[in-house]
Structure 1
Amino acid sequence: MFSRFQHLKENLLNAVNIRLLILSSLFIALGALMIYRVFDLQIVKGENYLNDFRLKTTKTRTLASTRGNIYDRNGNYLAYNELAYNVTIEDVYESGKTKNANLNDTIYRLIQMIEKNGDSVVNDFNIILDNDGNYAFTVEDRQLMRFLADIYGYTTIDEMMEKGYKHATKTAAEVVDDLCKTDRFGIGTYADPDDSKSFVPGMGYTKEEILKLLTIRYALSTNSFQKYIATTVAYNVSEETVAVVMENTGELDGVDVAEDTVRKYVDSVYFSQIIGYTGKVSQEELNVLQEQNSKYDLNDTVGKSGIEYSMEAQLQGTKGSEDVVVDNMGKVIETSNRLEPIAGNDLFLTIDKDLQETIYDILESKLASILLTKIRNIKEYKPGENSSSSDILIPIDDVYFALLNNNIIDMNNFSGKGAGENEKAVYESFLVKKEVVMNTLRQELTETKTPYENLSLEYQVYESFITSMLNSNSVIMESEIDKSDSTYKAWVTDEVISLNEYLNYVISKNWVDVTKLDLGSQYSNSDEIYAQLLEYIFKNIDNNSGFNKKIYKYMIRNNDISGRQICSILLEQKLVEVGEEELERFNSGHLSPYDFMLNRIGNLDITPAQLALDPHSASSVVTDVNTGEVLALVSYPGYDNNRMANGVDADYFSSLLNDLSTPMINYATYQKTAPGSTFKMVTATAGLMEGVINTSSTIVCTGTFDKIDPPPHCWIWPRGSHGALTVSGGIRNSCNSFFYEVGYRLGTLGDRYVPDIGLQKLTQYADLYGLTETSGVEIEESQPQVSDEDAVRSAIGQGTNNYTTVGLARYVTTVANSGTCYNLTLLDKLTDHNKNTLEDYSAEVRNTIDMDASYWDSIHSGMRAVVEAKSYYSGLGVNVAGKTGTAQESKSRPNHALFVCYAPYENPEIAIATRVANGYTSDYAAQIAKDVIQYYYDLVDEEDITGTAEALTGGSINTD
């Protein structure tokens, strides 16, 4: 029995072992097959399958070249490139519902990392936050239309105006809101996470954060068709930022640090108006550049103004290229066929760096000196019955207020945690005053209804601000107003009705855009509209910095804020540094606020540009009279173009836009004023060449020219007259009557005076001096304007004559060299980066004036006599010839001061044209030119003419 069981057991085990062997063999075979298949798929054919899956594409990527350097005539750097590290991002995010949230989160975290280390992100978007914390455009007119067309996807402005006019009228806030929506960049959060329709644009971010996110998202969107090109988030970041970004690249998809160069400007404030700056190309700029070079694209950095703009093609260089293989997400897999870029050419200017900087400092110190001459310890200047523009004085209260008005003192700091004792006291007084003002205005607009003419000046200012605000915000639609309407005139011109009556009237005439008001129904009655209009007014002026400044102005005038408090706030905000002795005298009351402020201006602790009072701007141009080269072209004030290049510093750009001294205007090439008596050499040339006078002709000045009506007067009238003068004497005495007569004779046909004939002849000779065209300098310049009315007055530089300082510089250069009129140039030579000369520039001769030598002698001797009559030119060490000019633009503001000259008189080498806008008298401009000549000929130490200021003497009598 046991034997049978044992045998059965053995048979069963043998059967199981055979099956296990078979199964094991089968599994081993299958496993081997699978391993082979995996090996075949992943190793043998893996790359092919991966390539097929990724849908690889080969594209060509351009490599930016290094921009050429800019030097002065002596080889000193003015602009160069510096190695830097930039933070970049590529759009590697898959499309889908979560793309915006993921990309925004990455960018937001990246911004925090960058700013934590003290670096700044790019903010070259055309929208900024204004002083009141509201969104505002930084461009206007056609540039704004181009920006809006790009935002809303229109190829041209015309297409936007035809198909989407509503987009052309969008406000900055509306543009931001549109871009934040889910169909664009999805910047915001859901009020209800479970409701897909509850997204609130911008929610969860500050306005500053929204703008930073928008700037980067918008830049990324312009590259949406070529995602493999990185977008720069921050330029020239610190090593700390590089380290933290590289440490976190695993969590920041698409983020990288790239080695690059950034543009640097030497002593930028002195040269910003000439050199300009670079920035990312706009669509409109790109369209123009691509006509010249098809290789430009939207990622390029190009010259935006000045020489950087005009010499873009020479400075840009030649791009390199490389082939990049990208997957279907736009991510770069490999690169090949790299062609290195070629650096741009180097440019040498005719400018002398040291001369340029010294003249700038001279202008600043002389402007400060004029201010010191005119500032008085008074509350308000009230002109007398016979006062002239040269008599205008500057009350010290205007100086105190200027520090607030031009944002030198930060009013936002008054209510901050770190506010000083005086800041807190002033702010508390302001809150009390503001409540009174708001209550009084509300009462005026609802109950009192005082006619405008019967209001105090203070409340006239407040109500004028309100109407201006309503007009600028298009609440009152100016295009709808009938300006011949009697009620409109009663408010604007006659000032005999109240603001209440005016506003109710514009409502009744449907001149109010009710869509801007918070109305419950479009069918609201006039009372409801007026009530909402009042709410709109008070809401918008409540935190309006412009309106608050009006309140501060009258608080200073009414002694609610003292001069001592203003001076103390300068110290609390660390805006000025004062020596211990002076500080002790001020704190102890032994130094008055008036004297304290004069010391700040005299030491240039507070500059004329910061005050932005008259005068605060000036320009001066120095030329080589024998070559037409510009040795200095100075505009005061300047700005730091380093903060405009390599990604605009938005806060700084905003401060420039709001700066009342308008530092971004090149006063040497843009500002035009009447030339005043500097024009008289043109009239002398016309009179001599046309034969209406000769060198010995005499014209008698009686003080009044009575051949036309109303009769104009000579500047010396009613104190006296000049008597009989030749042309040389006419120039020497700047006799208006002499040149009135010449202008009259030029326009006389037979025995009949025809003004147009006189104007034609004056224009003909103005043209010979280059005054009908721009001067030739290679930067932006205003077109000149030769007078087209009143030949008699035009003969002394009045009428509608208007010229730039650089235009007058070409004119006096032509006088100095006796008739060679150049197209002035700023360019010396162009070299490659190995300093091999590629092009030698020189000023072209525009025309020559072929005039008898005796005529030139009469003009030159008259100009020499002008300078000889000025005591401060005596003993100078070099003889100078020149001509003063004073131009009145407004009776309520000082006249413009001009002076043109050349030196040496015997053998001219340089010519100078100087203008001080609202500079009172040409005597001050002549003193500036004297200092320039002293420096140029090394007749004085530089520190003796720059660095400090003191009250000037002379210049109170018009001698033009």
Structure 2
Amino acid sequence: MKEVFEYIVSLLKSRIFPMILVFIIMISILVHRLFVLQIVNGDSYVEDLSSSIKKDMSVVAARGRIYDRNGVLLAYNDLSYAVKISDSGRYSDNAVKNKTINNSIDKTLTIIETNGDTYSNDLPIIYNNGQFSYNVEGTSLLRFLRDSYGTESIAALSDEQKATSAENMFKYLCEVYSINYEEFGIEHSLMMVNLRRYMAANSYNRYLTFIIANEVSDKTVAAILENSDELVGVTVEEQYIRRYVDSVYCSQILGYTGTVSNAELEELGDGYESNDIVGKSGIEKSMESELSGSKGEKSVYVDTVGRITEVLDEEDPQAGHDVYLTIDINLQKSIYHAIEDEITSIFMQYFTPGNNKITYNGSGDVDTIYITAQEVYFALIDNNLVSLKQIQEQNTANEAEIYSQFETKKSETLSWLKDELTSGDTAYGKLSEEQKLYIWYIYDLLRSENIFSLANVDTSDSVYYDWIYGDSTSLSQLLTYGISKNWINMSSLTSEKYTSLQESYDALVDYVISALDSDTAFFKKMYKYMINAGSISGRQVCMLLYEQGVLDINADDSKYQALVSGSMGAYEFMSYIVSNKIITVGQLALKPCSGSAVVTNPNNGDILALVSYPSYDNNKLSGTVDAKYYNSLVSDNASPLLNRATQSFIAPGSTYKPCTIIAGIDTGIISSSTTFNCSGVFDKVTPSPRCWQKWGHGSETPVTAIRDSCNVYMYNVGYNLACSKNGSYNSTYGTNVLKKYSDMLGLSTKSGIEIEEGTPGASSQNAIASAIGQGNHRYSTLNLARYVTTLATSGTCYNLTLIDKITDYDGNVLRDNSAEVNNKVELSSDIWNTVHTGMNLAAGTYSAFSSLKMSIAAKTGTAQEKTTDPDHATLITYAPYENPEYCMAVRIQNGYASGNAVTLGADIYKMLFNISD
């Protein structure tokens, strides 16, 4: 025992005892920790591991390609890096979560911007020129409001919620997600709101990723990876980007892709997730089920910030099918350039250095509508070719001088407006043209912001009625009266409660003046009158094109120096710029600036070309939306996002006359030999409409009436159709008969193509005017193309198609597509011969067609919309006359005369039949 005691004492005194003691303590701690991990908390960690770390993920399939009819590639996939984010962090509370995620997004956006990349934002709220607005409307907007407010349905939204302005909705969402938009800036905050709403909608799936930016550079990838510890939930992944070849020529057909919206998820159903890329418009949207392919799956382990650490199992995705279109891309491109050339030629014909916009003939009717130099100078500002923001920065002496003039004008204008609103009380009809524009702008501003709430207005009220239709009410009268009638929504201006009408009105005036003080759209109104008054010269505005980098000084130094020195005037300079398409008519967005053409194959209903001018680059809208570019498209006065061929509707003019003749003969009102005398006036009604040939055509038959486009003959047919029921004139009966034949011929019904098209409409008023293609007819160029195809085939009305065939990714044909015949118009050969002969004779009256040395059928149309705007020029035609191979409809909006449409049509025939000049 003594020996044991001595051994223990010696051990305690030895040098290794402390080491032994340390080992014992460490082993005890380790054993205790293992016990806690495996025994006490084992079940919890096993559950966390299986539910939070091991994840099943979908693998996106390669999207199918799109080709033209000849196998020319139009849309394909390109591999690139994408920056994504997921709600994958762990947070102690919601405040920490909001701060962490918002900071991660902000830092990521800064990295992206610093390296020259762009990020995508499909939030339905946009911020442009200092103003918030929605970029969706109707049901789409209501769905967004429903999701934002978290109501069960659209019907559950209150009237106040439905009327929420874009700015107030943005601020509301910022509050929901604790986003300090003053700290982060508007643009970053808009992106934060967009990502946070996606995350919130998918909170049940924390590791679902959402795209911040596609196609980022290697520098951005490196920066993201270097800062990954700070960027919680942010990852970089390889992803396919949609590319479009020759995009501007067929973007209206192809459309573009983007992240699926909540509304689209509801429509697409199972198989789609919130981060999927889907077709947003055009063929990309309509053929989504063919192009999208089938997703793969993989099981992975991820770490606490969402990065994949191990792939356990993987099933490959199946690529989407390829779609071949019926269009010929080379024809499409050639027609696009031909439209631009023809509009440029028209533009230059009417471009004048003078200030007179309109001249009148001896009868007081409009004779000529010119495009004035002042209009063109202002168009450079109005359509954002030159930047008001850059003028404000005053980087050049010219900009400083212009801005100084503007500041003076602005001060004078706002001062006058405040005086007018507080004490002027001038009746609207007694204001000058410029003053009327400013006053009406204020009314429009209050109405668009729902401050002047039309929902609350009694439209029969005498004060409101006079404001809209009369000229004796002043804006101050309208607004003070509106406050007393609760037409003014003061709660949208301020939370303060005013005890008197005067206090409320003063607050409203202060709001108006404050809003105008930073309203870029209002500034443009002032610039217009500054240019008109000469306080800003055309030369100064033209120099801005070089100073702001719109035009390259080095590429055209001689013209710049000539402009600076004054040896070349502003009118001469703009003539050179426009005629050489350095700046296009589409960019200026004056009238004319747009056109469209559709070419079909009458033997099978294929669409060979469907062209809308001006267009846009859909590469900048697919994947990562170039927000600046998109906003420029939305605000572009030429509306390049609008497909002029399928969604722009105007009266058909005289192209409708073959339909009138068909209706007249088939109903027995006339025969193919019936004559009417055209004296230049149709005197069966008062006021008596006139023929375009003021001295008349004399005796006309249906054939010669089509050839000569005789209005009086068609007036007689329209009048008699309206009288046929009981002998008395009934306009509605007449328009119903005309509509029946418009529908039969495929003119006033949808064409059935695979992309978005609007709904046409046959005229429902004034049977006499409707018979010559006026009234309230509304047809697209596509409707006219279907109509002329039915005429050319003597009654075969196709549901036109853009799809040639579908193949798998290896080129094996899965489905050959062909246009369906919607209906057959059964008419006598006498009727068809009458129409065909008339159209053949009509084509022969145009030298542009005669020079082609081939037999053509055609009918032109000139439709007037406003007497102060140029008429629309329209053409329907087919060739060869004896055995039609091609049918065509052409429209130049505000193209002045139908002969201009014929010139364009002749150029297209040269392409189709390889005819050289």
Corresponding residue for 1:402?
Answer: 379
Distance 2:499 2:654 in 1: 62
Report the secondary structure of 1:807's partner residue.
helix
Secondary structure in structure 1 of the residue aligned to 2:146: helix
The residue that corresponds to 2:598 in the other structure is 621
Contact 1:54–1:327 (CA under 8 A) maintained in structure 2: no
Alpha-carbon separation, structure 2, partners of 1:12 and 1:266: 94
2:691 to 699, 714, 727: 714
Partner in structure 1 of residue 77 of structure 2: 81
Task: Name the residue aligned to 1:862.
Answer: 838
Amino acid corresponding to residue 189 of structure 2 in structure 1: I
- CA distance change for structure 1 residues 33 and 250 in 2, over 3 Å: closer, same or farther? closer
Give the number of equivalent residue pairs.
907
Contact 1:820 1:847 in 2 (8 A): yes
Give the TM-score of the pair, scaled to structure 2. Answer: 0.93
Which residue does 1:694 correspond to in 2? 671
Structure 2 counterparts to residues 704-853 of structure 1, below 5 A: 704-717=681-694, 720-747=695-722, 748-749=724-725, 751-853=727-829
Residue by residue over 1:51-86, the C-alpha shift from the partner in whole angstroms, topping out at 9 and shown as x without a partner, is 427352255322211111111101111111101111
Which amino acid is 2:96 matched to?
A: T
Give 1:679 deviation, angstroms. Answer: 1.0
Q: What CA distance in whole angstroms lies between the structure 2 residues aligned with 1:170 and 1:900?
A: 46
> Percent identity between the aligned chains?
40
Residues 883 and 142 of structure 1: is their aligned pair in 2 closer, same or farther, counting only changes over 3 Å?
same
Alpha-carbon displacement from aligned partner over 1:495-536 (angstroms, at most 9, x marks no partner): 2243333333333333322224457x5242122222222211
Unaligned runs of 5+ in 2: none
Corresponding residue of 1:114: 112
Paired position in structure 1 for 2:58: 62
Instruction: Within 5 Å, give how 1:597-608 maps onto structure 2.
Output: 597-608=574-585
**1:344 equivalent in alignment to 2:344:** no
Residue 494 (structure 1) aligned with residue 470 (structure 2) = yes
Distance 2:672 2:410 in 1: 68
Paired letter, 1:322: K
Find the residue that maps to 1:177 and give its secondary structure.
Answer: helix
One-letter identity of the residue aligned with 1:361: H
- Select 1:301's aligned residue among 269, 277, 280: 277
Deviations 1:528-551 (A, max 9, x none): 222222211110111111211111
- Letter of the 1:550 counterpart: K
Aligned to 2:127: 129
Q: 1:908 to 1:38 in 2, by over 3 A?
A: same
CA distance in 1, matches of 2:638, 2:11: 103
Residue 373 of structure 1: how far off its partner (Å): 1.4
C-alpha distance in structure 2 between counterparts of 1:15 and 1:228, whole Å: 59
- Within 5 Å, give how 1:423-822 maps onto structure 2: 423-518=399-494, 522-577=497-552, 579-717=556-694, 720-747=695-722, 748-749=724-725, 751-822=727-798
Residue 96 of structure 2 is aligned to residue 98 of structure 1: yes
Kindly provide the CA deviation profile for residues 211-270 of structure 1, in whole angstroms up to 9, marking residues without a partner as x: 233233333333321122222221011122122222332443332211110111112111
Q: Separation in 1 of the partners of 2:875 and 2:820?
A: 25
Q: State the alpha-carbon separation in 1 of the partners of residues 576 and 852 from structure 2.
A: 29
Q: Is 1:229 matched up with 2:208?
A: yes
The answer for the alignment partner of 2:169 in structure 1 is 175
- Report matched runs for 1:359-398 at 5 Å: 359-384=335-360, 386=363, 388=365, 391-398=368-375
Structure 1: distance between partners of 2:884 and 2:657? 20
Q: Who is 1:139 aligned against?
A: 136
Offset of residue 41 of structure 1: 5.8
1:23-38 matches, cutoff 5 A:
34=28, 37=31
- Judged with a 3 Å threshold, the aligned counterparts in structure 2 of structure 1 residues 692 and 508 are, in CA distance, closer, same or farther, namely closer
**Pairing partner for 2:240 from 250, 255, 261:** 261
Counterpart pick for 1:187 among 179, 182, 185: 179
What is the aligned partner in structure 2 of residue 199 from structure 1?
A: none
- Partner SS state of residue 642, structure 1: helix
Structure 1 gap segments, 5+ residues each? 1-8, 189-201, 942-960
Using the TM superposition, give the Cα deviation of residue 10 of structure 1 relative to its aligned residue in structure 2, in angstroms: 11
Distance 1:729-1:234 versus aligned 2 partners, 3 A rule: same
Q: What CA distance in whole angstroms lies between the structure 2 residues aligned with 1:664 and 1:15? A: 93
What amino acid does structure 1 have at the position aligned with 2:262?
Q
| Partner Cα separation in structure 2 for residue 304 and residue 604 of structure 1 | 31
| Equivalent residue, structure 2, for 1:211 | 190
| Partner SS state of residue 914, structure 1 | strand
Q: Whose radius of gyration is greater, 1 or 2?
A: 1
The whole-number CA distance in structure 2 between the counterparts of 1:11 and 1:175 is 84
Q: Counterpart of 2:650 in 1: which secondary structure?
A: coil
C-alpha displacement of 1:872: 2.4
Q: Secondary structure at the match of 1:391?
A: strand
3-state DSSP of counterpart to 1:233: strand
Residues 551 and 239 (structure 1 numbering): CA distance in 2 closer, same or farther, change over 3 Å? same
* Distance verdict in 2 for CA 1:497–1:235, change over 3 Å: same
Alpha carbons of structure 1 residues 46 and 633: separation in structure 2 relative to 1, 3 Å: farther
Q: 1:711 to 1:325 in 2, by over 3 A?
A: same
Give the Cα–Cα distance (whole angstroms) in 2 for the partners of residues 392 and 487 of structure 1.
36
Equivalents in 2 of 1:305, 1:283: separation in Å? 16
Cα distance in 2 between the residues matched to 1:74 and 1:496: 65
After TM superposition, give the deviation of residue 361 of structure 1 in Å.
1.1
- RMSD value over aligned CA atoms? 2.9
Kindly provide the amino acid, as one letter, of the partner of residue 293 in structure 2. G
Aligned to 1:191: none
Aligned pair in 2 of structure 1 residues 757, 174: CA closer, same or farther (>3 Å)?
A: closer
> How far apart are residue 654 of structure 1 and its match?
1.6
**Displacement after TM superposition at 1:451 (Å):** 2.8
Residues 307 and 389 (structure 1 numbering): CA distance in 2 closer, same or farther, change over 3 Å? farther
2:199 counterpart of 1:220: yes
Q: Partner amino acid for 1:252?
A: L
Give the distance between the partners of 1:109 and 1:527, measured in 2 at CA: 48
Tell me what 1:149 maps to. 146
Structure 2 counterpart of 1:812, which letter?
A: V
Residues 106, 184 of structure 2: 8 Å contact kept: no
C-alpha distance in structure 2 between counterparts of 1:416 and 1:850, whole Å: 69
Normalising by structure 1, we get a TM-score of: 0.89
